[in-house]
Structure 1
Amino acid sequence: MWLFKYLFTNLYRAVQTPNGRRLLWLFFRYAGRPRHQSGLIPFINYRFQVPDALSFVWQFKEIFADESYRFTTTAAHPIILDCGANIGTSLAYFRQTYPTARILAFEADPAIGEVLAKNLRDNNIPDIEIINKAVWVDENGLDFGTGEADAASMFSDTGRRRVPSVRLRDYLLRETRVDMLKIDIEGAETAVLTDCRDALAHVQNLFVEFHAYIGHQQTLGEVIQVLESSGFRYYMDSNQGRTRPLVNHRYRGNDIMDLQLNIFAYRP
């Protein structure tokens, strides 16, 4: 049994839960599709328009199978801010898991924002405020590249344009308590968190997807310093799993990013 678990750890974990088994089916059915082609994918009780099947399957793994965004709260109406809501997979999870929550969703990419709104509307996922603007340190707009699939960012050169922005700090200061703050904004996280340093005291749970882009300074230390000075405990994980990192400086030939981390922060 232990040898089986060692050799087939991911498969062993997946078959233990309904969503784990759904993940295996999604991998089998959709992961081999040509990249960056839009289509409809049914899952659980939903049917989502997705711009890239493989990216969606990984989203389902992280959000529904692993439940990476689950948190505990005693609030009758939790406050959730989802920065980088993409096509709405995380919003479906939040609404399903926390049905009485007040949810604000931010998405910078105009085209993805349209898909997001359609997915929520077509799947009857109610009462979510969508702000189709980039989360940033001011309201002056942000130069933003669309990238491919879920790779849109301020560092992308593809389809580059200026998009409207909001200052996240202002939204945080309007609330007396934020139960969950999710930040997946493809490279803007360090600047945004630094700007929000004095507005995090009432944030109970925080998820940050940290990115380091090749040719740009790595700023993980700045993010960790903000978390520590704000009184969070944190846990970090990487979905890259790079072997021989002192020799292999790229993740599967990625010429854009050389580090991506999931950071989970919470009040002790």
Structure 2
Amino acid sequence: MWLFRYLFTNLYRAIQTSNGRLLLWLFFRYAGRPRHQSGMIPFLQYRFQVPDALSFVWQFKEIFADESYRFQTNSPEPVILDCGANVGSSLAYFRHTYPQARIIAFEADPDIGAILDQNLRTNRIEGIEVVNKAVWIDEDGIDFGSGEADSASLFSETNRRRVPSVRLRDYLLREPRIDMLKIDIEGAETDVLIDCRDVLTNVRNLFIEYHSYIGHPQSLGTVVQILEENGYRYYVDSNQSRVRPFVNHRYKNNAVMDLQLNIFAYRP
């Protein structure tokens, strides 16, 4: 049994839950499709339009199979801010898991934002305030590169355009308590956290997807310092196991990024 678990750890974990078994089916059914082709994928009680099947399957793994965004709260109506909502997978999870939650969702990419709106309407995922703007440090707009699937970024040079922005700090100041703040904004996270570093006291749980881009300074130390000075405990996870890291300097053979981490911060 232990040898089996060592050799087939991910498979062993997957078959323990219904969502894990569904993940295996999604991998077999959709992960081999040509990349960056739009299509409809049914899962659970939903039908989602997605711009890239493989990216969506990985989203399902993190959100529904692993339940990476599950948090504890004693509030009957928890407040959730989802920065970087993409096509709406996380919103479906939040609405199902916390049915009385007040949810505000932000999506910078106009094309992905249109898919997000469609998915929410089609699946009757209601009561969510959607802000089709980039989360940033001001309201002056930001130059943003629209990539394929989930690769849009502040640092992407593909299809760059100016998109409207909101200052996350303003939203944090409006709420006496935020039960979950999810920040997955593809390279803008450090600047935004620096701008918000003195207004995080009302945030109970904080998820940060940290990105490091080749040719730009790494800022993980700054992110961790902000968490520590605000009294968070944190857990850092990488969704890859890089072999020969002194030789292999790229994140999953990514052309522009050399590190991506999931940071889970919570108040003890």
Give the TM-score band, short-chain normalised: over 0.9
> More displaced, 77-86 or 247-256?
247-256
2:251–2:260: 8 Å Cα contact kept in structure 1? no
User: Which secondary structure does the structure 2 equivalent of 1:140 belong to?
Assistant: coil
**Which residue pairs with 2:101 in the alignment?**
101
Residues 1-268 of structure 1: matches in 2 within 5 Å?
1-268=1-268
Deviation at 1:198, TM superposition (A): 1.0
Counterpart residue identity of residue 92, structure 2: A
Aligned mates of 1:27, 1:257 — CA distance in 2: 25
Aligned mates of 2:239, 2:213 — CA distance in 1: 16
What CA RMSD, in Å, does the superposition of the two structures yield over aligned residues? Answer: 0.5
2:204–2:267: 8 Å Cα contact kept in structure 1? yes
Q: Deviations over 1:121-159 (max 9, x none)?
A: 000101000000000000000000001110101100111
Counterpart residue identity of residue 148, structure 2: E
Deviation at 1:33, TM superposition (A): 0.2
Aligned mates of 1:253, 1:176 — CA distance in 2: 42
Counterpart residue identity of residue 38, structure 2: S
Aligned mates of 2:194, 2:147 — CA distance in 1: 25
Q: How many residues align?
A: 268
> More displaced, 241-250 or 10-19?
241-250
Q: Deviations over 1:212-246 (max 9, x none)?
A: 00010000001001100111000000012111111
Q: Deviations over 1:19-51 (max 9, x none)?
A: 000000000000000000000000000000000
Aligned mates of 1:247, 1:116 — CA distance in 2: 39
Segments of 5+ residues of structure 2 without an aligned counterpart are none
Segments of 5+ residues of structure 1 without an aligned counterpart are none
Aligned mates of 2:99, 2:253 — CA distance in 1: 41
Aligned mates of 1:70, 1:253 — CA distance in 2: 30
TM-score, with structure 1 as normaliser: 0.99
User: Which secondary structure does the structure 1 equivalent of 2:12 belong to?
Assistant: helix
Counterpart residue identity of residue 128, structure 1: I
2:14–2:21: 8 Å Cα contact kept in structure 1? yes
User: Which secondary structure does the structure 2 equivalent of 1:71 belong to?
Assistant: coil
Aligned mates of 2:41, 2:66 — CA distance in 1: 19
Structure 1 segments of 4 or more deviating over 2 A?
none
> More displaced, 246-255 or 80-89?
246-255
Deviation at 1:252, TM superposition (A): 3.4
TM-score, with structure 2 as normaliser: 0.99
User: Which secondary structure does the structure 1 equivalent of 2:135 belong to?
Assistant: strand
Counterpart residue identity of residue 177, structure 1: R
Counterpart residue identity of residue 83, structure 1: C
